[in-house]
Amino acid sequence: MRLSLLAPLDRWLAPAPAPERVAWLRTAIFAHRGLHGPGLPENSLSAAEAAITRGFGIECDVQRASDGQAVVFHDWELDRLTAEHGSVGARSAAQLGAITLSGSTDTIPTLRHWLDVVDGRVPLLIEVKSRRDRHYAALCLAVRRVLEGYRAPHAVMSFDPRVSRWFAVNSPQTVRGLVVTEENDKALPGRLRRHLALWHARPDFLAYDIRDLPGRFPAAQRRRGLPLVTWTISSAEYLARAREHADAPTVEGAGVP
Give the percent of the chain with pLDDT over 90.
94
Q: What is the mean pLDDT of the chain?
A: 96
pLDDT at 133: 83
- How far apart CA 137 and CA 151 sit, in angstroms, is 23
- How far apart CA 156 and CA 154 sit, in angstroms, is 7
CA atoms within 13 A of residue 65's CA, in its CB half-sphere: 18
Mean pLDDT of the region 61-86: 98
* pLDDT tens readout for residues 124-163: 999 999 998 889 999 999 999 999 999 999 999 999 999 9
- How far apart CA 60 and CA 124 sit, in angstroms, is 8
DSSP 117-135: HHTTSS-EEEEE---TTS-
Is it the case that residue 1 has pLDDT exceeding 60?
Answer: no
Give the percent of the chain with pLDDT over 70.
98
pLDDT at 132: 85
- Domains, the chain, with CATH or none: 36-156 (3.20.20.190), 159-257 (3.20.20.190)
* pLDDT tens readout for residues 22-67: 999 999 999 999 999 999 999 999 999 999 999 999 999 999 999 9
Per-residue pLDDT band for 2 (boundaries 50, 70, 90) equals low
The reported pTM is: 0.96
pLDDT at 3: 58
Nearest to 202 by CA among 172, 238, 241: 172
Is it the case that residue 4 has pLDDT exceeding 70?
Answer: no
